[in-house]
Amino acid sequence: MRVYLLFFLAIYLTPALALGGTLFADWSPEEKADYIMESADSLVRARLALMDSTIMEHRLDPAIKRRIINYVEHWPIASGRLLARSARFFPIFEEQLLAAGMPLALKYVTVQESALRPWATSQVGAGGLWQLMPGTARELGLTVNEELDERLDPELGCAAGLDYLRIQYEKYEDWSLALAAYNCGPGNVNKALRRSRGTDYWSIRKHLPRETRNYIPNIIAAAYIMVFHHEHELVPGEMELDLQITEAITVDRKLSLHRVAQVTGLRPEVVIELNAQYLRGYLPGMPGGHRLRLPSRVMPAMRTYLSLHPAEEPESDFFPPWSTPSLENGELNADRFYGQYSTIPSVGDSTLRQVAEANRIPVDQLAVWSNRGELDSLGQWDQFFFYRVDKYRPYDPRKRNTPPASPQIMALAATPIQVPAKKPAENLPAIQLPANPQPQKASFADKVKSWF
């Protein structure tokens, strides 16, 4: 909103602006405020009209406006963190959305569902980036137990969330109704359709549960902030590049995250953050394998280790899989292994997505790293920044073995402990207790005195 105020302040200082022959400077304060707010709303409406309307109509109503103001004015730090997380997760979501043939705008659902936090858990038990209930996740093929919660896996959780959305879309053939059913269940949506006799979200909105009435507006506001954040001076928060430039492999063995930290030289919290689904700190080794996500720069070392040490080979130097990853320190300044590069639009490039595809960079990462929006108009010499790995970590076999355990000392034979016999106390003076005084019968005079 600060950008709006500066823009309209410039208009205010322009003496040529007039309405009905009256200069803007001659208006009353109330007229000036109304004009600025109406013009700001018109600008936001124009921007919403530029966005992808495949899944819903982007209208500006009080709920959407209030949410946008919260993102810009009240939650600027949280909004910056959201932008940083979008550079980490949106490339994963877009890859699956493209493969499934679903609208790319569905990635913004996760901003409303979990604020892009893989550990997010609701009061009713929904978990992960897509906030799936345990029963629903199991029906969709995910494993949810005390050692593995695949809802927290960005890839598997996304795949299950998109499957559930596809099921709802096949019922209603409308993405806004499918999203409403994703939030409150198809039963509530069917009830709202019968009561309102409407055919889309906006016509049945007032008949939906209170939370769902603001669900679609909140998604629209989140999408607006992700696309036009730079127009409101929102700066992406800091996030180390090891969490943003990642890739995943399938591991068909039982493997401790402590061993992963040893081989890759990563800090334990980085390994755990990228693999939140392993609740006990290890890959259980279930049939079909497990996904292990790591920074791209350390993946050569991990692949070499897995190829040189078969799954049948015992890990004799520690006790997998119960060793904690916190036993390893790891790299403290991983950003030094990356280099920053810049590019300009090629001839014929008119969108940021075209620039990203030409440089083989996810568009969301290019937008965040350059603090630009996906729908920005491009100039011939506009400069965009991105990062690449400059130095990959090779496998170091010395990192596999930990120092030997201390030698065990033979324990001495245990001697039974006997409680010594206790003797009664002797030669102690007897305790004299005072005799209880005998109560005396009150006389008639005493009774009379007690009345006064």
Instruction: State the DSSP H helix or E strand holding residue 19, giving kind and residue range, or none if neither.
Output: strand 18-19
Residues 359 and 257 in one domain: no
Q: Is 194 helix (H, G, I), strand (E, B) or coil?
A: helix
pLDDT at 117: 94
Q: Is residue 434, in this structure, part of any structural domain at all?
A: no
Does 192 have pLDDT greater than 90? Answer: yes
Q: Is residue 442, in this structure, part of any structural domain at all?
A: no
Beta pairing, strands 282-283 & 255-256:
antiparallel
**Type of residue found at 61:** D
Q: How far is CA 224 from the centre of its chain?
A: 18
Determine how many CB atoms are found less than 10 A away from the CB of residue 364: 23
Residues 177 and 147 in one domain: yes
Residues 216 and 303 in one domain: no
What percentage of the chain has pLDDT greater than the value 90?
60
How far are the Cα atoms of 85, 161, 231, 277, 291 from residue 156, in angstroms, in the given order? Answer: 18, 9, 34, 10, 9
Q: What is the pLDDT of residues 263-277, one digit of tens each?
A: 999 999 999 999 999
Residues 169 and 249 in one domain: no
Could you give the angle at the alpha carbon of 263 between the alpha carbons of 258 and 264, nearest 5°?
100
CB-based contacts of 104: which residues, under 8 Å, 6+ apart? 52, 94, 97, 98
Q: What is the pLDDT of residues 28-85, one digit of tens each?
A: 666 655 555 666 888 899 999 999 888 888 888 899 999 999 999 899 999 999 999 9
Domains identified in the chain, total number: 4
Q: Is residue 101, in this structure, part of any structural domain at all?
A: yes
Q: What is the mean pLDDT of the chain?
A: 84
Residue that finishes a domain, picked among 202, 232, 262: 232
Residues 76 and 198 in one domain: yes
pLDDT at 4: 44
Band of pLDDT at residue 110, cut at 50, 70 and 90: very high
Name the β-bridge partners of 384: 343
Does 379 have pLDDT greater than 70? Answer: yes
Q: Is residue 97, in this structure, part of any structural domain at all?
A: yes
pLDDT at 3: 42
pLDDT at 18: 41
Band of pLDDT at residue 414, cut at 50, 70 and 90: low
Residues 274 and 228 in one domain: no
Residues 24 and 105 in one domain: no
Does 141 have pLDDT greater than 80? Answer: yes
Is residue 63 left, alpha or beta, with left meaning phi > 0 and alpha meaning psi from -120 to 50? Answer: alpha
pLDDT at 32: 55
Q: Is residue 315, in this structure, part of any structural domain at all?
A: yes
DSSP 352-398: HHHHHHHTT--HHHHHHHHT--TTPPPPTT--EEEEEES-PPPP-GG
CATH of the domain at 378: 3.10.350
Taking the chain, what is the end-to-end CA distance rounded to the nearest angstrom? 81
Cα–Cα distance between 292 and 272 in angstroms, integer?
10
Look up the pTM and report it: 0.79
Does 2 have pLDDT greater than 60? Answer: no
Residues 328 and 344 in one domain: no
> Torsions phi, psi of 389, nearest 5?
-75, 125
> Torsions phi, psi of 248, nearest 5?
-125, 150
Q: Which domain holds residue 364?
A: 337-389
pLDDT at 416: 61
Q: Is residue 443, in this structure, part of any structural domain at all?
A: no
pLDDT at 7: 42
Of all residues in the chain, what percent are helix, strand and coil, respectively (each to 5)?
50, 10, 40
113 is catalytic: yes
Cα–Cα distance between 185 and 179 in angstroms, integer?
9
Residues 353 and 322 in one domain: no
Residue that finishes a domain, picked among 214, 232, 250: 232
Q: Is residue 280, in this structure, part of any structural domain at all?
A: yes
Long-range pairs, 39-44, Cβ under 8 A, ≥24: 39/4, 39/8, 40/1, 40/4, 40/8, 41/65, 43/4, 44/68, 44/224
pLDDT at 6: 43
pLDDT at 354: 93
Residues 132 and 197 in one domain: yes
Q: What is the pLDDT of residues 157-176, one digit of tens each?
A: 999 999 999 999 999 999 99
Residues 262 and 322 in one domain: yes
Determine how many CB atoms are found less than 10 A away from the CB of residue 407: 5
Residues 147 and 293 in one domain: no
Q: How is residue 70 annotated by DSSP?
A: I
Short-list 371, 375, 365, CA closest to 94: 365
pLDDT at 53: 86
Catalytic residue among 31, 73, 94, 113: 113
CATH of the domain at 227: 1.10.530.10
pLDDT at 357: 93
Cα–Cα distance between 289 and 285 in angstroms, integer?
6
8 versus 419: the higher-pLDDT residue is 419
What percentage of the chain has pLDDT greater than the value 70?
76
DSSP 248-268: EEEE-S-EEHHHHHHHH---H
Residue that finishes a domain, picked among 50, 71, 86: 50
Band of pLDDT at residue 452, cut at 50, 70 and 90: low
Does 127 have pLDDT greater than 90? Answer: yes
pLDDT at 54: 86
pLDDT at 17: 42
Buried b (16+ CB within 10 A) or exposed e, 230-268: bbbebebeebbbbbbbbebeebebebbbbbbbbbbbbbb
Band of pLDDT at residue 9, cut at 50, 70 and 90: very low
> What average pLDDT score do residues 89-110 get?
95
